[in-house]
Amino acid sequence: MAQEFDRVQLRDLTEYVKTEALRLGFSRVGITTPEPPPHLEIYEKWLKERRHGEMTYLETDRARHRRADPHRILPECESILVVAANYLPNGQKSTGVAAYAVGDDYHEVLTDRLKRLVSSIEARVGREIKNRYYTDTGPLLERELAQRAGLGWIGKNTCLISPEYGSYFFLAEVLLDLPLEPDQPIKTDHCGECTLCIEACPTNCILPDRTLDASRCISYLTIELKGTIPLELRQLTDDWIFGCDICQQVCPWNLRFAEPTADQAFQARAFLNEPTPRIFLQLTPQDYRTALSKSPLKRAKRSGLLRNAAVAAGNAGGRASVPDLERVLAKEEDPVPRAHAAWALGELGELEALRVALDSEQDPEVLAEIRLALDGAED
């Protein structure tokens, strides 16, 4: 049976929950109801058109079933608390790593705060609360819930944009078997006629229905994609080694209103203030374990970071990274970074290194990259 509150108690409890969320380090908080998401058909169409690339976990029957109705996650759910955490670091100087990834892993940071928030609410109401909490890990359409909770609107670049703070936010949700006063959704599309994000995207991955073709998105290519980056997209990834912020960097709402966070968890690690391809090309297995401990960058795995850094080095030009690329091509066990190092050396015109590798390389895909680079130089 649902716990009953009179109007004053409900208002006071709602105010307490919001105040406690802010005290624990969240930047914004809103509340919505657990009705099914109104734009589920757009998500289903996105899956049907295979816009999710190799992220097959999104298309399982269980995941789709649960995304269609929050009650399928928590049958007792009466309200959904949606919180946002500003992650924009202070003084980050370059663009090779997305702003959200230069600090600590938000999954760990925010999950700890969500646990403490639930404990605080339980202490307030004097009982155990049935709940589920997620931050980018659960079968929820997070941005729809956040819009419904009054935190912002879904922009043309698919980010949730706050009219007061921009879009550099993590989102997290808590499903509660507790009635709380819902907030009013933001219904106005404040993007208006602006198309700066669409025009700025180098891979043209932003679609007209406010979704992305993930298979072309630089964030997907540098994080989620585990194999070979398509040849036609490599130059378009420019210097991005992990993630991409271009569509946020050009957004007028960020240019006008986004402010750096004071949250220490999301400040840049020293070596990520100005990340270069060489830093990652020289990343040993031990460095990967220690320097990137509790970092979001570990999602790409060491081989993925080497692959991405090789492409960034090839795009950057110059000879600074050549010795590192030669080492990757000659000594790395994983053929994926070796193949991309071969491509990068070809882009830099280092043909002798490729000819040397041609005599010893055994992997057919790496050999194909070497030959393609050599043939391209001879044309």
Residues annotated as catalytic are 136
φ, ψ at 166 (rounded to 5°): 85, -145
Q: Per the structure block, which two tokens stand in for 180?
A: 């709380």
Rounded CA gap, 362 and 348, in Å? 23
Inter-residue contact 73 to 65 (CB < 8 Å): no
What gap in Å lies between CA 62 and CA 110, rounded to an integer?
A: 25
Residue 236 CA to residue 341 CA, distance in Å, equals: 16
Token pair, residue 295, equals: 């970092």
The DSSP code for 97 is B
- Is 146 buried (19+), middle (13-18) or exposed (0-12) by CB count in 10 A? buried
**Torsion angle, alpha carbons of 162, 167, 168, 173, to 10:** 70
Residue the block writes with tokens 């378009």 = 236
